[in-house]
Amino acid sequence: MQYAYTFAGWTPELEPATSNTAYTAVFDESIREYPVNFYNNTGSELLFTTNVPYGSTPEYLGETPTNPSTAQYHYSFAGWGRDMMVVDGPSFYNDYYAEFDPILRSYDITWVNYDGTVLCVTNMPYGATPAYSGATPTKPATDTTRFTFSGWTQAVVPVTGATTYMATFEERAYPVDLSTLTGTFTAIDGDKLIGATTYAVSIAADATVTLAGMASPGLTCLGNATIVIADATTNTLNGTLRAGGPGTTLAINGNTGTLTVTGDNYSAGIGAFNLSVAVERPRS
């Protein structure tokens, strides 16, 4: 299989016959060549073919093989899966198939505010669950409405591609008219309370709430809290004013407004305040 032979003539040279003569065929000898083929990773596409002499090692001289990306992976050409073998005849070893290393893709996850302003961009690998790491989104208040960040326009899910999440907000009337309540209510930071209600009212932890002419059966702080008494307003708690419990502080601030508390058995821990209010201290 190493050599190919081509008839070259006779020896001795042919001459007119004068006697019995024997002639021997003469052949030229040449190294045989065998085709070597290079395919893509599935074998569905011939990338390059070359004829290689017996005893030589093939060399790929085509373009660098590529493999289409998926949503999850890019692919980097990694070779042919084995070393090039010396050609010693026709053989399936003369066929080579491209191999690729998968590279996990990453995508930009963009977090935008209600108006499209970019808040944060994070680059996350496919399959990871993104988490917002920026400042809490805000939306400017109007004369009658306050807005509280409530989440994103779509559920945050594992990354499968570039995604944009837009902040959403819960609308909250400003001021909050307690007379419209149909059940218990928790005031949050920035609320202003007006009107009278028969339902229990609480103040969320770490919130600053303004009382601007309100009345309720009582007021319970769920943690540290600051109550601001709006100037020239009268506010009444027909029950208890409860601070947030041990280790918390309730500050009551104001100038010309009043807050009257009519109940008893109040919780301890009411903090310093600069307005004289009718608050009964715990009984010993």
Give the E-state strand segments of 127-240 in sequence order. Answer: 145-152, 163-173, 176-177, 185-187, 192-196, 201-203, 207-216, 219-221, 225-229, 234-237
Q: Is 265 exposed, middle or buried (0-12, 13-18, 19+ CB in 10 A)?
A: exposed
Average pLDDT, the chain: 89
> To the nearest whole percent, how much of the chain has pLDDT over 70?
92
Instruction: Tell me the pLDDT band of 264, cut-offs 50, 70 and 90.
Output: low
DSSP states of 18-29? SS----EEEEEE
**Which one, of 263, 212, 255, 213, lies nearest residue 237 by Cα?**
263
Q: Could you tell me the end-to-end alpha-carbon distance of the chain, in angstroms, rounded to an integer? A: 112
DSSP summary character for residue 63: P
Specify the amino acid at residue 159: V
The pLDDT assigned to 43 comes to 94
Q: Answer whether residue 122 shows pLDDT above 80.
A: yes
pTM of the complete model? 0.67
Range with lowest mean pLDDT among 29-33, 139-143, 241-245: 241-245
**Torsion sign, CA atoms 76, 81, 86, 88:** negative
How far is residue 213's CA from residue 266's CA, in Å, rounded to a whole number? 22
105's enclosing H/E stretch is: none
The pLDDT assigned to 38 comes to 97
How far is residue 260's CA from residue 107's CA, in Å, rounded to a whole number? 58
The pLDDT assigned to 14 comes to 86
Instruction: Tell me the pLDDT band of 134, cut-offs 50, 70 and 90.
Output: very high
How far is residue 278's CA from residue 241's CA, in Å, rounded to a whole number? 10
Write out pLDDT tens, residues 8-22: 898 888 888 888 889
Q: Is 104 exposed, middle or buried (0-12, 13-18, 19+ CB in 10 A)?
A: exposed
For the chain, the residue count is: 284
Residue written as token pair 């600053």: 208
Average pLDDT over residues 93-106: 97
The pLDDT assigned to 283 comes to 37
Collapsed DSSP state (helix, strand, coil) of residue 109: strand
Write out pLDDT tens, residues 200-249: 999 999 999 999 999 999 899 999 999 999 999 999 998 888 888 788 88
The pLDDT assigned to 76 comes to 97
How far is residue 252's CA from residue 266's CA, in Å, rounded to a whole number? 15
- Phi–psi pair at 73, nearest 5 degrees: -130, 145
Range with lowest mean pLDDT among 2-11, 149-158, 191-200, 218-227: 2-11
